[in-house]
Amino acid sequence: MKRVLGTAAAIVALTIGLLPSFASATAAEPSVSDVRISGGPASAMDSKPVSIDARIYLPATVPAPAVVLAHGFGGSKESVDEQALSLRDAGFVVLAYSARGFGKTFGSISMNSPQFEVADARALIDYLAKRAEVTQDATNDPRVGFAGGSYGGAISLLVAGYDARVDAVSSDITWNDMQQTLFAQNATRLGATADVKRDTGVFKQMWASYFFSVGMATPPNLINPCGRFSLEWCRAYQEGVTTGQLSEQSQALMFASSPASIAERITAPTLIMAGQADSLFPLSEGSKTFEQIAAAHPATPLKLVWHAAGHDGGVNESERLQGFTMTWFKKYLLRENISTGPVFEATLASGTIVSNNNRNQLKFFTSDVFAGVAGTSTNKIKLTGKAQNIVAPAGGQPALMTVLPGLGGSIASLVARSFPNQSAYFESAPFSATTPLLGSSHITLRVTPTQSLPELVLFTSLRITNGEQTQRFPNGLVAPLRITNVVAGQPIDVSVQLPAVVAEISPGERLQLVVSTTDAAYRLPITPSMYTIELVDGQLSTPIMGVTKISNSSSPLTTIYTAIAVIGAVVLLLWLRRPRRRPAIYRADLAEVPLQVENLVKEFKGGHRAVDDISWSVPTGVVLGLLGPNGAGKTTTMRMAMGLIAPTSGAVFVYGHQVQPGSPALSRIGALVEGAGFLPHLTGRENLELFWKASGRTTEDPQLDAVLAMADLGTAVDRKVRTYSQGMRQRLGIAQAMLGMPDLLMLDEPTNGLDPPQIRAMRAMVQEYAATGRTVIVSSHLLSEVEQTCSHVIVMHRGRLVTSGRVDELLAGRSNVRLEDFFLEVVGDDLTIGRS
Partner 1 sequence: MMNNYKANRTLPYRIELIRQIKRRRTAVAYGLMVALPLIVVAAVKLGPQSNSSSGSGSGDSNFGSGSLNLIGLATNGTWNFTLVMLLFGSGFLLTTVFALFSGDTVASEASWSTLRYLLATPVPRRRLLMIKLAVGITLSLTALVILVAASLAIGAIAFGTAPLTSPLGGSFASSEALARIAIITGYIGTTLLFASGVAFLMTVVTDVPLGAVGTAVMIVIVSQILDALEALGDLRQWLPSHYARAWTDVLSPTIDWTSMARGASFSIIAFTLLVGWAVLRFDKKDVLS
Q: Rule CB under 8 A: which of 258-287 touch partner 1?
A: 277
Minimum gap (Å) between residue 342 Cβ and partner 1? 21
Q: State the binding string over 296-335 for partner 1 (x if CB under 8 A, else -).
A: ------------xx---xxxx-------------------
Question: Is the CB of 325 or the CB of 541 nearer to partner 1?
Answer: 325
Q: How far is CA 725 from CA 8, 681, 747, 754, in A?
A: 67, 15, 19, 10
Cβ neighbors of 63 (< 8 A, separation 6 or more) are 93, 132, 133, 134, 135, 136
- Least distance (Å) from partner 1 to the CB of residue 506? 4
Region near partner 1 per CB under 8 A, out of 130-138, 333-341, 677-685, 810-818: 677-685
Q: List alpha helices for 715-755, DSSP H.
A: 726-738
Q: CA 419, CA 392: separation in Å to the nearest integer?
A: 11
Using CB atoms within 10 Å of the CB of residue 704, give its burial: 0 to 12 exposed, 13 to 18 middle, 19+ buried: middle
Q: Kindly tell me which residue out of 117, 177, 345, 509 binds partner 1, with binding defined by CB under 8 A.
A: 509
Question: Nearer Cβ to partner 1, position 320 or 763?
Answer: 320
- The 3-state DSSP class for residue 94 equals strand
Position among 191, 225, 298, 556 found at the interface with partner 1 (CB under 8 A) = 556
What would the DSSP string read from start to end of 240-251?
HHHHS---HHHH
The closest of 65, 92, 95 to 81, measured between CA atoms, is 95
Q: What is the closest distance, in whole angstroms, from the C-beta atom of residue 437 to partner 1 in the complex?
A: 13
The residue range among 126-134, 289-297, 407-415, 421-429 that interacts with partner 1, by the rule CB under 8 A, is 407-415
- CA 525 from chain centre, in angstroms, equals 44
Residues 537/381, Cβ–Cβ less than 8 Å: no
Residue 418 interacting with partner 1 (CB under 8 A): no
Of 104-112, 116-124, 611-619, 656-664, the window that binds partner 1 (rule: CB under 8 A) is 656-664
Under rule CB under 8 A, residue 432 binds partner 1: no
Closest distance between partner 1 and the C-beta of residue 218, in Å? Answer: 24
Site for partner 1 in 12-71 (CB under 8 A): 12-13, 18, 20, 23
Query: Between 144 and 739, whose beta carbon lies closer to partner 1?
Result: 739
What is the distance between the alpha carbons of residues 790 and 795, in angstroms, rounded to a whole number? 12
Select from 401-409, 478-486, 489-497, 749-757 the region that touches partner 1 (CB under 8 A). 401-409
Alpha helices in 621-683 (DSSP H): 634-641
CA distances from 611 to 220, 640, 653, 796 (A): 94, 10, 16, 9
Q: Which is nearer to partner 1, 111 or 277 (CB)?
A: 277
Measured from the CB of residue 285, what is the shortest distance to partner 1 in angstroms?
Answer: 18
For partner 1, the closer of residues 166 and 273 by Cβ is: 273
Please select the residue that binds partner 1; options are 681, 760, 814, 818, rule is CB under 8 A: 681
Check residue 468 for interaction with partner 1 (CB under 8 A). Answer: yes
Strands 539-544 and 377-384: antiparallel
How far is 746 from 409, CA to CA, in rounded Å?
A: 75
Contact 271, 170 (CB under 8 A): yes
464: contact with partner 1 by CB under 8 A: yes
Residue ranges in 210-239 that form contacts with partner 1 under rule CB under 8 A: none
Does 563 bind partner 1 (CB under 8 A)? Our answer is yes
State in Å, rounded, how far the first CA of the chain is from the last one.
76
Q: What minimum distance in Å lies between the beta carbon of 651 and partner 1?
A: 16
Give the residue with the Cβ less far from partner 1, 95 or 640.
Answer: 640
Of 258-266, 350-358, 484-492, 624-632, the window that binds partner 1 (rule: CB under 8 A) is 350-358
Query: Is 783:819 a contact under the CB 8 Å cutoff?
Result: yes
Among 395, 398, 489, 675, binds partner 1 (CB under 8 A): 675
Per CB under 8 A, the list member of 235, 743, 758, 820 interacting with partner 1 is 743
Phi, psi of 36 (to 5 degrees): -110, 130
**Residues within window 358-397 making contact with partner 1, judged by CB under 8 A:** 358, 360-361
Number of residues in contact with partner 1, rule: CB under 8 A?
Answer: 111
Give the span between the Cα atoms of 40 and 162, in whole angstroms. Answer: 14
Q: What is the dihedral of CA 214, 217, 223, 224, to 10 degrees?
A: -20
- Minimum Å distance from CB 751 to partner 1? 18
Contact flag: residue 406 with partner 1 (CB under 8 A):
yes
Instruction: State yes or no: residue 607 binds partner 1 (CB under 8 A).
Output: no
Identify the three-state secondary structure at position 12: helix
